[in-house]
Structure 1
Amino acid sequence: MTPARPAPTLSLALVLTVLMTAWWAALGRADLAALRLPEPDDMMRLAQIRDWIDGQAFGDLTQARLGPPGGTAMHWSRLPDLVPALVIRLLSPLMGSARAEIAAVIFWPELLFFFHLLLSGALAKRHGAEGAALPAIALAALAFPAVALFMPGRIDHHGLQLVLVEAMALALLDRRTFLAGAVAGASLLIGVETAPVIVAAMLWLAAMWAGERRPVGGFGLGLVTAAITGLALLRPDVWPADRCDGFTRPLFAAMLIAGAGWLLLAASGKHPQERRWRLGAAAAVAVLAAAALWLVAPACIGHPYSATDPLIARIWPDHAGEYGGLLRQPIGRAVAFLGLPLIALAAAILFVARDRDRRTNWLLLAAMIAVAVATMLVQLRGAWFAAALAAPVLGQWVDRAGRHGLALLTAVWLLSAGLVWQTLGTVLDARPDPAAAGCTSRETLAGLERLDVGTFAAPMELSAYLLGGTGHRSLGGPYHRDVDGNRALAEFFLSTPDEARYQASLWTIDYVALCPTPTGGLPPALLRQGGLAAHLLNGAVPEWLEPVSLIGSDLLVWRVRGIAAPGARP
């Protein structure tokens, strides 16, 4: 017998995963070798994993080196820590902890990238001919900005959430509702970023129940199972009742309420025979669930990050909710993030109108992409889900265009490739990143690591790199739960030099740092005339600050003289 040949989709996904990961790793090999990861959240995740491996309790998500003395209780889940931590623990005895960490930060995004490609191909198959799967996999590998979540070093939780959302959509199309509910619940346990697209999927499922009497009880049971599993295994030690920014009490209640709603709907499924009665039953259950949510978990109705300190919201509007909306972005970035989702949404709507046999399947992807695009107006991260779900839609478009000549096929490929939109956005947006220019370079981190350990008052851009790349503390950071630290950081830079000296003593600040840019990496609101930040950028250094030189770095660093000296931690 000849051995079975692997499926073309599996082979293509594997080849693209290996080749693209190798290419990305080669481009960033110097940063990877120094464990200087692409994004601040990746560095923070690395710091969290290290803390856990070094003995921090599984349920203790406090980042002790962020914020005022005592640290900041993060809203992140341990779930994305599991695989990287396992790789590090297994490989450390064989190659040392540093090399094991490098292997982990390459392997984990690579594994998720492979699943992303496979799921994109599988979703394309559910919507048409077999020939759509291979183009969908290829387009999924080019689907900017979603594909950026799978580059080596991208170990934050967003890549895992993206894969879980794709798995939920596939399970819904396969009518495996329990799996869909469980996967949706798992994504919520990681973070509430997936809530909008999950709501879109639930609205689609309700419509299918009303129109086709499709079973929905499994989805509710899956949600409840995920919530109870999270309570048993993933509940953090700090479990607030006034936030819905992660796996908190309100989110747990919301998941139970949503699950109970689906179970109630399933229990009534045998009785309303006419579609209008089923629609009425679905509407009634939705109203009951919304009322229960309003009474039991009001934090999940409003802003997921709770009320923001007015000073922080004014100075760091993009960091108050962790990401700014589409309207705050330069035109180039808006085009790069929005181009692919809009093309996919238009194609999905066209398929809904013309493909009667698979209209209900197209409705699911169209609804999820539309909601993700709408989410981009508030938070740009919605583009990740929209771009990822665009691949199976546009794979179908490419497959159909191939029957109408090479010119049309080429045009469709170009319009469907996310990296083309990224390139166009780069051309349109010629402005340099104001927080770049070596503020977080590997040379800078190496220089900072050579300093005595202390607390930094530094721009948001630098804070997470301080935690993940050095042993220092950071007073502020782009994390909404660090309310006291971020407010203290703002007041410190806004204060006059004499007032700032008192602030340095109050918050035990050892170092002050600014990026080598015209604004120092700070938002304009902190450059108040007469304030400490303005003085430092103008070269008027107060006598209580001593300049510190870093070899190979242009970062501006000053050590606080005689106050809160390094080592004098409370």
Structure 2
Amino acid sequence: MTAPAQTITRALPRLDSRIVLWVVIALCVVTMSTPQAVWDTIQHLRVPDTDDAMRLVEVRDLLSGQGWYDNVQSRFLPPAGVLSHWSRLVDAPIAGMILALSPIAGPALAEGLTAALWPLLLFGLYGWVLYRGVRHSFGERAALLAVLVATQTFGVTTQFQPGRVDHHNVQMIALLGLAACMIRGGFRSGLIGGGSAALSLAIGLEGLPSVAVATLYLVGDWCLRGRPARPTLSGFGFGLGAAAPVLFAAQTAPDQWAVPRCDALSPPWLFLASAGLIFVLGATWAGDRLATIRARAALAGLCGAVMLAAFAAAFPACLGGPFPGMPALVRDHWLLTVNEMASVPKLIAGGQWEALAFHPVVALASLTAAWLAWRGLQRRAWTVAALFLWPGLILGVFQFRGLYIASGFVPLVAGAVLDRALTQAEESGTGARRWGFALLGGSMVSTLWMAPALLGEVLLPASRTAPDPGGAAACQSDTALRPLAALPPGTILAPIFLGPSILLRTPHSVVAAPYHRAISGLEAAIEGLGGTEADLDRVLTALRIRYLVACPARPADDLQAEPAFATRLARGAAESARLAPVALPGPLKVWRVTR
């Protein structure tokens, strides 16, 4: 190199790797969603899932003057309606954004802008919690790498895509915050963590297994270490025990305070939170008098046994899970057909190769966190990460929804592992160790797993026997439902998955939607659309149906050997004297009930 060139090189400012990472993160955030998806959300209120549509229906009702404590969806199974178990704590900020944007953009565009911006704002909050938590244990570069990996983790990005106004993203943030507080330790962190756990439970009980595991860890830590672990346990107990009743009262009508609900924060779960608070008060009062592991374990075991026995005696229905008393017909022909309830064997049998972008990274992160916790390096951080990953992974083998929360912890593990690979390179570590960590961290990036997923689609196209999601999406679109909205309002019998979109995009009422609190509507849709002509006639008469709607791309399950009458009707292979076809553009088939 010539002397002038050397001078120029020395004069150039050294580019900070942190700046490079921030720039790459910004680019990845901008490209997390396609411009078309953002535009469709803003202009046509495109939403990814039925739950997102139902959330917007609830928000609209709230903005239209429905009471804060009135969670009855009156157009769902009229005339009585259906009492929703969803939280107003998620409805409120979405409604606030729509109100703030309406004077500027108008009500319709304000809804679209909110549906697009709300998930992006939540991803910013998730990234901040992730960054703060990883930086505390592993340093700033690891934290930046974790945020970068988050933008490439499908289990994360699917929860923050445009239109994703459901509650799973808020729960992911709350439980990640709980984990960060557990790792940091201390009374203040425990208090914030307990409040985060209470927020997660108030929003929905999907996070209950994670909260239970976190509680067991903190109690076990106190049993083993005594005084050093007591502040975190005390803070967590006070935070959960105090915040849970407050949040419950804030979103539940007073006349419902004594009603036990197994699927939402209510007396059964408040009982456990209060019992935990009493245990924490006892442990705090006892202080150093419980000087041995045996004494502390005895107190914890006795209190736990009494608490669980009392719970089983007082609320036996909740021992069977959140769906007590669900009929076999509904379980087999609705619940077990929903994608979030699908097991790994079912996904593989159906040729749904996209599962490769979700399960392997959670499995690798779980194994890595457990391995590094066993090795003893940053043991508390790795142990807590493993505690939140493993339950999700195990549940995810049997039900896909188990990955919802666990996926949020994959970037934490991947960021720390990739940082360790870079540290090995800087310290001239052995090539095997350096490249081993690099390969391990890279294998936790979901986008890399798209290659085998796409390969499976190309090489084994005939293996896909699962229903085509494109057909269902077309039937739920604004384009498909706008003509239906022009018809005089009435009650519609339609496929279960169409219910929320009909409520969102039309003035009509529906019989069925994918929610377990409306069992009679689910039974009516399954029997009417999957049964014989007599079954359909019985449902049409009993529920005073005005319109029958079918999505030919997604027919109902046949309840007998021959195709269901409604399916043959949609194919043009059958007719009914009491159903008059309504000619509408688009993929939907519509009939008016004449008598």
Q: Give the TM-score, by structure 1 length.
A: 0.90
Query: How much is the aligned-residue C-alpha RMSD, in angstroms?
Result: 2.7
- Which residue matches 2:365? 344
Q: Could you say if the C-alpha distance between residues 446 and 166 of structure 1 is closer, same or farther in structure 2, counting changes exceeding 3 Å?
A: same
1:212 aligns with 2:225: yes
1:522 aligns with 2:543: no
- Deviation string 1:258-297 (CA, Å, 9 cap, x unpaired) is 3333333333342221223222222222212212222233
- Which residue matches 2:448? 420
How far did 1:239 drift?
5.8
Letter in 2 for 1:457: L
Letter in 1 for 2:264: G
- Which residue matches 1:257? 275
After superposition, residues 327-338 of structure 1 pair within 5 angstroms as 327-330=345-348, 332-338=353-359
1:84 to 87, 94, 99: 94
Is residue 320–residue 480 contact of structure 1 (8 Å, CA) maintained in 2?
no
1:230 aligns with 2:247: yes
Letter in 1 for 2:482: A
- Which residue matches 1:388? 408
1:307 aligns with 2:325: yes
- Where does structure 2 lack aligned partners over 5 or more consecutive residues? 1-15, 426-430
- Deviation string 1:200-231 (CA, Å, 9 cap, x unpaired) is 11121112212222121221111121122124
Is residue 241–residue 250 contact of structure 1 (8 Å, CA) maintained in 2?
no
Q: Secondary structure at the match of 2:112?
A: helix
Q: Secondary structure at the match of 1:233?
A: helix
* Whole-Å separation in 2 of the counterparts to 1:448 and 1:275: 67
Structure 1 stretch displaced more, 470-479 or 402-411: 402-411
Q: Secondary structure at the match of 1:512?
A: strand
Letter in 2 for 1:212: R
Structure 1 stretch displaced more, 142-151 or 264-273: 264-273
* Whole-Å separation in 2 of the counterparts to 1:560 and 1:415: 56
Q: Secondary structure at the match of 1:149?
A: coil
Larger Rg: 2
How far did 1:138 drift?
0.5
- Which residue matches 1:40? 50
How far did 1:537 drift?
3.7
1:543 aligns with 2:554: no
* Whole-Å separation in 2 of the counterparts to 1:382 and 1:479: 18
* Whole-Å separation in 1 of the counterparts to 2:160 and 2:339: 23
* Whole-Å separation in 2 of the counterparts to 1:208 and 1:347: 22
2:335 to 317, 320, 326: 317
* Whole-Å separation in 1 of the counterparts to 2:323 and 2:295: 38
Is residue 41–residue 162 contact of structure 2 (8 Å, CA) maintained in 1?
no
After superposition, residues 276-287 of structure 1 pair within 5 angstroms as 276-287=294-305
2:420 to 396, 400, 418: 400
Structure 1 stretch displaced more, 473-482 or 297-306: 297-306
Q: Secondary structure at the match of 1:305?
A: coil
- Deviation string 1:80-139 (CA, Å, 9 cap, x unpaired) is 111111011122122210111112112211111011112222222233233211111111
How far did 1:324 drift?
3.5
* Identical counterparts, % of pairs: 28
Q: Could you say if the C-alpha distance between residues 510 and 300 of structure 1 is closer, same or farther in structure 2, counting changes exceeding 3 Å?
A: same
- Which residue matches 2:4? none
Letter in 2 for 1:305: F
Q: Could you say if the C-alpha distance between residues 525 and 334 of structure 1 is closer, same or farther in structure 2, counting changes exceeding 3 Å?
A: farther
2:138 to 111, 128, 133: 128
1:558 aligns with 2:591: yes
Identify the structure with bigger relative contact order (alpha carbons < 8 Å, sequence gap 6+): 1
* Whole-Å separation in 1 of the counterparts to 2:295 and 2:523: 53
- Deviation string 1:28-67 (CA, Å, 9 cap, x unpaired) is 4134311121111000000000000101110111111112
* Whole-Å separation in 1 of the counterparts to 2:559 and 2:38: 34
1:506 to 516, 529, 542: 542
Q: Could you say if the C-alpha distance between residues 488 and 168 of structure 1 is closer, same or farther in structure 2, counting changes exceeding 3 Å?
A: same
* Whole-Å separation in 2 of the counterparts to 1:144 and 1:490: 32
- Which residue matches 1:463? 499
- Which residue matches 1:361? 381
Is residue 253–residue 297 contact of structure 1 (8 Å, CA) maintained in 2?
no
Q: Secondary structure at the match of 1:126?
A: helix
Letter in 2 for 1:149: Q
How far did 1:505 drift?
2.1
Is residue 25–residue 147 contact of structure 2 (8 Å, CA) maintained in 1?
no
Letter in 2 for 1:445: L
More helix by percentage: 2
- Which residue matches 2:70? 60
Letter in 2 for 1:560: V
Q: Give the TM-score, by structure 2 length.
A: 0.86
1:201 to 209, 214, 220: 214
Q: Could you say if the C-alpha distance between residues 239 and 543 of structure 1 is closer, same or farther in structure 2, counting changes exceeding 3 Å?
A: farther
